[in-house]
Amino acid sequence: MSTAIWGEPELQPDQNVPTALLTHLLQQMIGQFACTGACIALYDEQYDQMEIRLHLRLRDAHVATTGFTRGGASNES
């Protein structure tokens, strides 16, 4: 539970997020958005910046698109 008040930094120990969880989330994102790779960055209060925790790229770059191309035009006939 957060104890931060009025913008004070939260007093929490460094939380290690399991790599298996991050991998699962990235695989879901890749499937949802039909992309060939993704990365997750988490905010690190100690350094006041985002820190990349995991980066995934598909081995096979052929991704099935449904309905639209990147330019927004329909690719269906």
Which amino acid, residue 49? Q
User: Looking at per-residue confidence, does 55 or 13 come out higher?
Assistant: 55
The residue extents of the domains of the chain are 19-57
Please check the confidence at residue 20 and state whether its pLDDT lies above 80: yes
Q: For residue 31, what are the contacts with CB-CB under 8 A and spacing of at least 6?
A: none
**At 72, is the pLDDT very low, low, confident or very high (cuts 50, 70, 90)?**
very low
| β-strand partners of 40 | 54
DSSP per residue over 18-77, as a string?
-HHHHHHHHHHHHHHHT-SEEEEEEEETTTTEEEEEEEEE-SS------SB-TTS-B---
User: Per-residue pLDDT averaged across 20-31, rounded?
Assistant: 92
pTM: 0.55
Amino acid 44: pLDDT: 86
